[in-house]
């Protein structure tokens, strides 16, 4: 049973540790190639800010076990993601991830639940904060709880400064699952059919990583250091094997607006890279 008052008190704390192996595996899972040495070779390795979703990741199967969050996985959709990093992510770190429910927004036909996860190293440094917003169909009328934020990022208008066609592998979702996001929606054909998809879909986080990597390579010369934040809304699913059109546009000195399309249909929107 979905009980917002109970869910708002829910927290999960768990240790994390990663090294360059985990970073390289993540980059491969979002489509990096053997020739992208700054993403796949430990001698030149840089860490994409979206990697922050991996350490301390809480699988959705664990989330639905939280008190007050008794739902059917088929009713849940990953709606939004935000990532904020505090300086460049290191190639190895260890510490504690602390996840809490930050907000529940009543959407009448359903509700959006935002989980905030903060990564803190053993020496007390905050590496990153990630926020995952999920939409749960059929639980509307629950009222707003916590810090509900209504502001939405700007959308691209006019001509793009970058436009790249990025093919995805048919095996991309299976590979990305090795990062810890084991939601069966991305591997189980039966669950995918129950959720209304013709076959298992690509993780939204994999799509976001692919788009961010493409924009960092195309507009920032492959250097993720200037990026302090990434956020987006998942508009439609990507099926592994489809080609993603990535577009980006400089908005001002500290923002790059992004979007992604498949066959002319928007799959990622309200996407922003925030620069330091």
What are the residues facing 113 on neighbouring strands? Answer: 104, 134
* Model pLDDT, residue 62: 83
> What's the rounded Cα separation, in Å, for the pair 72 and 1?
10
pLDDT, residue 195, reads 82
pTM exceeding the 0.85 threshold for the entire prediction: yes
In 3-state terms the chain splits into helix, strand, coil percentages (rounded to 5) of: 25, 35, 40
**What is the rounded average pLDDT of the residues 145-172?**
90
Lowest-pLDDT range of 68-72, 161-165, 257-261: 68-72
CATH classification at residue 166: 3.10.129.10
H-run or E-run covering 132: strand 126-137
Residue 85: pLDDT band by 50, 70, 90 thresholds?
very high
181 is catalytic: yes
Q: Is 268 left (phi over 0), alpha (psi -120 to 50) or beta?
A: beta
CA 231 – CA 244 distance, rounded (Å): 18
Q: Which domain holds residue 207?
A: 4-275
pLDDT at res. 188: 96
| Predicted local confidence at residue 98, as pLDDT | 96
Cα–Cα distances in Å, from 140 out to 46, 67, 104, 143, 149? 43, 18, 11, 8, 17
> Can you give the pLDDT at residue 14?
94
Mean predicted confidence (pLDDT) in 259-268: 97
Only one residue has tokens 């704390």, namely 13
Phi, psi angle pair for 8, to nearest 5°: -60, -20
For the chain, what is the domain count? 1
Least confident interval from 87-96, 182-191, 241-250: 182-191
Angle at 168 between CA 249 and CA 203, to 5 degrees: 85
pLDDT of residue 75: 82
pLDDT tens sequence across 90-136: 999 999 999 999 999 999 999 999 999 999 999 999 999 999 999 99
Residue 152 in this model has a pLDDT that exceeds 80: no
186, 190, 221, 250: the active-site residue? 186
At 273 the pLDDT is: 97
Provide the pLDDT for residue 20: 98
Q: What is the largest CA-CA distance in the chain?
A: 53
* Confidence at 72, pLDDT banded by 50, 70, 90: confident
Region of poorest pLDDT, from 31-35, 64-68, 112-116: 64-68
Residue that is written with structure tokens 């669950």 in the block: 191
Confidence of residue 8 (pLDDT cuts 50, 70, 90): very high
Catalytic residue among 38, 181, 203, 217: 181
Please report, for residues 93, 132, 204, 221, the alpha-carbon distance to residue 176 in angstroms, rounded to integers and kept in the order given: 21, 17, 11, 25
Question: Quick one: how many helices (H) and strands (E) in the chain?
Answer: 7, 11
Cα–Cα distance for residue pair 175/185, rounded to 1 Å: 14
* Dihedral sign (CA 137, 176, 264, 267): positive
Minimum mean pLDDT range among 62-66, 72-76, 80-84: 72-76
């Amino acid at each position: 049973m979905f009980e917002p008052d109970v869910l708002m008190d829910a927290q999960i704390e768990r240790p994390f540790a990663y090294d360059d192996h985990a970073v390289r595996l993540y980059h491969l899972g979002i489509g990096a190639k053997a020739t992208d040495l700054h993403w796949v070779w430990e001698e030149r390795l840089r860490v994409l800010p979206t990697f922050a979703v991996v350490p301390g990741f809480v699988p959705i199967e664990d989330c639905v076990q939280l008190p007050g969050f008794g739902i059917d996985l088929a009713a849940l959709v990953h709606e939004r993601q935000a990532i904020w990093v505090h300086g460049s992510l290191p190639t190895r770190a260890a510490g504690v991830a602390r996840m809490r429910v930050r907000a529940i927004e009543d959407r009448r036909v359903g509700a959006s639940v935002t989980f905030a996860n903060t990564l803190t190293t053993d020496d007390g440094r905050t590496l990153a904060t990630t926020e995952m917003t999920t939409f749960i169909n059929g639980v509307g009328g629950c009222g707003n709880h916590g810090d509900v934020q209504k502001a939405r990022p700007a959308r691209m208008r006019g001509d793009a400064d970058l436009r790249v066609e990025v093919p995805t592998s048919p095996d991309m979702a299976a590979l990305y699952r090795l990062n810890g996001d084991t939601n069966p929606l991305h591997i189980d054909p039966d669950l995918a059919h129950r959720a209304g998809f013709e076959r298992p879909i690509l993780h939204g986080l994999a799509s976001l990583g692919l788009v961010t990597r493409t924009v960092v390579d195309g507009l920032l010369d492959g250097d993720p250091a200037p990026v302090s934040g990434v956020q987006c809304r998942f508009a439609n699913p990507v099926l592994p094997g489809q080609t993603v059109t990535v577009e980006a546009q400089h908005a001002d000195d500290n923002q790059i607006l992004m979007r992604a399309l498949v066959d002319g249909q928007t799959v990622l929107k309200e996407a922003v890279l925030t620069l330091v």
